[in-house]
Structure 1
Amino acid sequence: MIRQIIYKTLPVVFILSSLLGCKTLQRPIKTENKVVPLTYGSSQDSTTVARMNWKEYFSDANLVALIDSALKRNQELNITLQEIEILRNEVRTRRGEYLPFVDVRAGAGVEKEGRYTRHGSVDENGEIMPGKRFPDPLPNYEMGVFASWEVDVWKKLRNSKKAAALRYLAGREGRNFLVTNLIGEIANSYYELMALDNQLDIIVKNIAIQTNALQIVRQQKEAAKLTQLAVNRFEAQLLNTTNLQYEIRQKIVETENELSFLTGSFPNGIPRSSIQFNDITLDSLRVGIPSQLLANRADIRQAELELSAARLDIKAARANFFPSVRIEGGVGFQAFNASYLLNPESMLFRMAGDLVAPLVNRNAIIAQYNSATARQVQAVYDYERTILNAYVDVVNQLSSVQNFAKSYEAKSREVDILMQSVVISNSLFRSARADYLEVLLTQREALESKMELVEIKRRQMNSKVNIYRALGGGWN
């Protein structure tokens, strides 16, 4: 009677659970906006330097060697590779969840039932065979193959596995984005090191010039043509310039050590050809069109894969509202005596099926579904933000390339004029037609302008690096 009631009730529970589940699933799924501007200004050329391999984009052999070393030995990159391996194993775990679990089992035990229980009274009054009672306590030997399988009717497990696979792919894109940034960071530090070398060279040459000027002023003071004030002013400027070199030398040490750290090695000097720094020319950079960012930028592809995984999470969470079906079975041998274990009459066969439907405790399932939906909306905003950030990044760096090229040209003319002024002021000073303050001021302005010219060149080279990174180059 009870069994008949259960059989009649199960379909009702199944239908009610399905209806309640459908009633809950009314939340609209937010879609992402992929629309980007058609061009970066007036250019409509679809050719982009992002497709170039980094070994072609950076022609300096020393820089190429540094980047190659970093891609093999950088600790952060290697940590990321292990995180990707963890994601790969998560995919294997999810794949195994919707396959049957099969176990080989063997065991032995002993059981003593109470006399005044149903099983105890049966054992007491029953016989295994005529004239032979059940052993007390009752041994039990068992061996066989047993399986259990959750039938993935609503694709909950398969969607979870697909979501894990997408996150694994997103992890690989995250590694590619890290490679892009690592290459950019090494290139920027390398050019900064070259700029510092050139600034140090400028300071050393100015120290020599100012030392010679100080000797001339002292001679003129001894000849009573100048006062001690002039000597003090020249000497103070020399000391100021001398002090600048120590700051530059410290920056060189720190930059070298930073490059060593990025390449995963202890500091041991960084090979470079700094003497050619100011002669480096920038070829015209092809940036392509904004829509290419969706394919070239690894962070955009990563955000897109994360968004797809979040949508599958919603489907998996939705499946929790519906009944789950689980099948268990086994075949083997069981006996109270080991000598009877392989007897055909000791064979056992077990098959069972469970239908479990959420009916009362639905708050936790609803909360999981709402959380999955919120994470999907969050992933949409993150995807749109990543696209917007990429476009703004390219526009900023493209403007930087153009403006620093013009700035370098203007500053170069300023340096030429000031260097001519230094020669003129020294000549006038020797012939007593210019005050020593004019000489000091001209020398200071010339030094500052040459230092600024090197700094502008460094920023110009950074623009070359950053536009390549912003367009998504470096990882391929």
Structure 2
Amino acid sequence: MNNFSKIYKITLSALLLLLVIGCKAPAIVENNAKTTLPEIYQPSASYTALAADTTNIAVKPWQEFYKDKYLKDLIDKALHSNQELNIQLQEIEIAKNDIRVKKGALLPSVSLQAGASVDKVGRYTSQGAGDATTEIEPGKEMPDPLGNFAIGAVANWEVDVWKKLRNSSKAAVDRYLATVEGKNFVVTNLVAEISSSYYELLSLDNQLDIIRQTIKIQKNALEVVKIQKEAARSTELAVQKFQAEVLSTQNKEYEILQQIKETENKINFLLGRYPQEIPRDKSVFMTENIADVYTGIPSQLLANRPDIKQAELELDASKLDVKIARAEFFPKFEISAGVGLEAFKPTYLVKIPESLLYNLAADMAAPLINKNAIQAEFASANARQIQSLYEYEKTVLGAYLEVNTQISNIDNLQKNFSMQNQQVQALNKAIDAANDLFKAARADYFEVLMTQRDVLEAKLDLIETKKKQLASVVQIYRSLGGGWK
């Protein structure tokens, strides 16, 4: 009884010592992100009336936001076959399985074990001498060599006193949710990229039509100059100048054809397929209405933007990682147990209770000296937490600036398109006047050439501005967090 009392006191003292050692862990410093956003986007004059309106185009599904049936069909196909999106879906599966791993660590692990062995010891040893004089039954000695057969179940369990395993499970859940938001962000960008590329393709189609119409007009003018030369009303210089202008415009035609091919291939790549023609209706491009833009208020970005929610979840997970790293300073409690049957002959395994074995043990261990690795891991976890905090703040700031920039862009492009449209109308009248004056010999060929060139450039610029208008609406829809719902 005195020996047991001494063992009890020694064990209790050791436990208390371990607890004291474990309590010497660094404190966790809470780092909170700055998420205070301006109340409005500081819009331009034309958007002031919408500044305090919470109506937000981001809540619209992309099927309602986009009206073009060909575009909607392309987006739908991309959402099923785009490789990057499918890769992200597998990331979600990986994160989901990681949750199962972390939750499994909270429960005891139980395994079945079975084994067989043969052991031959020297007869002139304490064990050998003892086996030689032992009888299993009257007249039957212990076998030599001695076999050993065992079957049983073994369980191990780490008691989660400091919530290390529970925090690890929570962090895995946060990272799983972050991958879901990451997938949503990929969808948002994919929808925007296909839409922008589609509008670029329509703009190239319209530019090609303008160039071909211009080539036809220039060839007609060239024929007129040739006739005038034969009638001695013009010179070879004028003929060559008109010929050079036709060739220059034809070069633009081939450049546009190449750009069309590249844009089609870009869309096909986003759809995860080999090159094929992209179905589209180019006739609606210039009449495509610019959607009404309702930006809501900046605080809605926190709920609508998948990348912001992803960064927030990563920040939460990194905070839990710090707690997990801190728990390594505390003692670790483990319980192990086993029960089974063991005998030197298989037929004796069923002889219970003689073949029955069991054990139960509880262990506690805490780091005593050389804590450098644990301290370094805690410091790294804390640094990663601060990194995640800055990443979150950067994402929020970037989202706000994207929307603010696109608001200004839409406003300025609208004014630009209106003025360019007036310019094209004026130049169309000028080209008619120049051709009439040239035929009447009241204007020289240089004036006609320059006017034709100005008209072509103005029409191409007008189409380019229209494309930018449509692209800016696509971008603000993406920047507000639309496209993934």
Q: Report if TM-score (shorter chain) is over 0.5.
A: yes
Aligned counterpart, 1:26: 27
Aligned counterpart, 1:84: 92
Aligned counterpart, 1:400: 409
Q: Secondary structure at the match of 2:396?
A: helix
Label 1:363 to 1:154 Cα distance change in 2 as closer, same or farther (>3 A). Answer: same
Label 1:107 to 1:427 Cα distance change in 2 as closer, same or farther (>3 A). Answer: same
Q: How does 1:264-283 map to 2 (within 5 A)?
A: 264-283=272-291
Aligned counterpart, 2:167: 159
Superposed displacement of residue 14, structure 1: 3.9
Aligned counterpart, 2:45: none
Aligned counterpart, 1:430: 439
Distance in 2, Cα, partners of 1:200 & 1:375: 53
1:460 aligns with 2:469: yes
Distance in 2, Cα, partners of 1:188 & 1:176: 18
1:423-442 deviation digits (Å, cap 9, x = unpaired)? 11111111111111111111
Label 1:235 to 1:249 Cα distance change in 2 as closer, same or farther (>3 A). Answer: same
Superposed displacement of residue 7, structure 1: 4.6
Label 1:415 to 1:366 Cα distance change in 2 as closer, same or farther (>3 A). Answer: same
Aligned counterpart, 2:451: 442
1:361-407 deviation digits (Å, cap 9, x = unpaired)? 41111111111111111110111011001001111111111111111
Aligned counterpart, 2:426: 417
Report if aligned partners of 2:185, 2:307 keep a CA contact under 8 Å in 1: yes
Q: How does 1:37-186 map to 2 (within 5 A)?
A: 37-41=38-42, 42=48, 43-114=51-122, 119-120=127-128, 122-123=130-131, 126-128=134-136, 132-186=140-194
Superposed displacement of residue 23, structure 1: 3.2
Superposed displacement of residue 358, structure 1: 1.2
Report if aligned partners of 1:163, 1:310 keep a CA contact under 8 Å in 2: yes
Distance in 2, Cα, partners of 1:416 & 1:116: 117
Superposed displacement of residue 316, structure 1: 1.1
Q: Structure 1 stretches of 5 or more lacking a match?
A: none
Superposed displacement of residue 25, structure 1: 1.5
User: 1:152 is aligned with what amino acid?
Assistant: D
User: 1:420 is aligned with what amino acid?
Assistant: K
Q: How does 1:287-302 map to 2 (within 5 A)?
A: 287-302=295-310
Aligned counterpart, 2:269: 261
Q: Which moved more, 1:314-323 or 1:4-13?
A: 4-13
User: 1:257 is aligned with what amino acid?
Assistant: N
Superposed displacement of residue 459, structure 1: 0.4
Superposed displacement of residue 360, structure 1: 2.0
Q: How does 1:169-208 map to 2 (within 5 A)?
A: 169-208=177-216
Match of 2:217 among 209, 213, 220: 209
User: 2:212 is aligned with what amino acid?
Assistant: V
1:10-37 deviation digits (Å, cap 9, x = unpaired)? 4444444444444332241211111111
Label 1:377 to 1:125 Cα distance change in 2 as closer, same or farther (>3 A). Answer: farther
Q: Which moved more, 1:253-262 or 1:22-31?
A: 22-31
Report if aligned partners of 2:342, 2:357 keep a CA contact under 8 Å in 1: yes
1:248 aligns with 2:256: yes
1:359 aligns with 2:368: yes
1:50-102 deviation digits (Å, cap 9, x = unpaired)? 00010000000000000000001111111111111111111111111111111
1:385 aligns with 2:394: yes
Q: Structure 2 stretches of 5 or more lacking a match?
A: 43-47
Distance in 2, Cα, partners of 1:334 & 1:341: 6
User: 1:427 is aligned with what amino acid?
Assistant: D
1:319 aligns with 2:327: yes
Report if aligned partners of 2:325, 2:381 keep a CA contact under 8 Å in 1: yes
Report if aligned partners of 1:17, 1:321 keep a CA contact under 8 Å in 2: no
1:157-180 deviation digits (Å, cap 9, x = unpaired)? 111111111101100000000000
Distance in 1, Cα, partners of 2:263 & 2:4: 79
Distance in 2, Cα, partners of 1:305 & 1:155: 20
Superposed displacement of residue 123, structure 1: 3.8
Report if aligned partners of 2:403, 2:476 keep a CA contact under 8 Å in 1: yes
Aligned counterpart, 1:346: 355
Q: Secondary structure at the match of 2:286?
A: helix
Aligned counterpart, 2:379: 370
Distance in 1, Cα, partners of 2:142 & 2:156: 32
User: 2:63 is aligned with what amino acid?
Assistant: K
Label 1:391 to 1:118 Cα distance change in 2 as closer, same or farther (>3 A). Answer: farther
Aligned counterpart, 1:35: 36
Superposed displacement of residue 122, structure 1: 4.5
Distance in 2, Cα, partners of 1:308 & 1:129: 68
Label 1:185 to 1:446 Cα distance change in 2 as closer, same or farther (>3 A). Answer: same
Aligned length: 476
User: 2:209 is aligned with what amino acid?
Assistant: D
Distance in 1, Cα, partners of 2:417 & 2:324: 58
Label 1:90 to 1:233 Cα distance change in 2 as closer, same or farther (>3 A). Answer: same
Report if aligned partners of 1:14, 1:323 keep a CA contact under 8 Å in 2: no
Report if aligned partners of 2:291, 2:473 keep a CA contact under 8 Å in 1: no
Aligned counterpart, 2:231: 223
Superposed displacement of residue 251, structure 1: 0.6
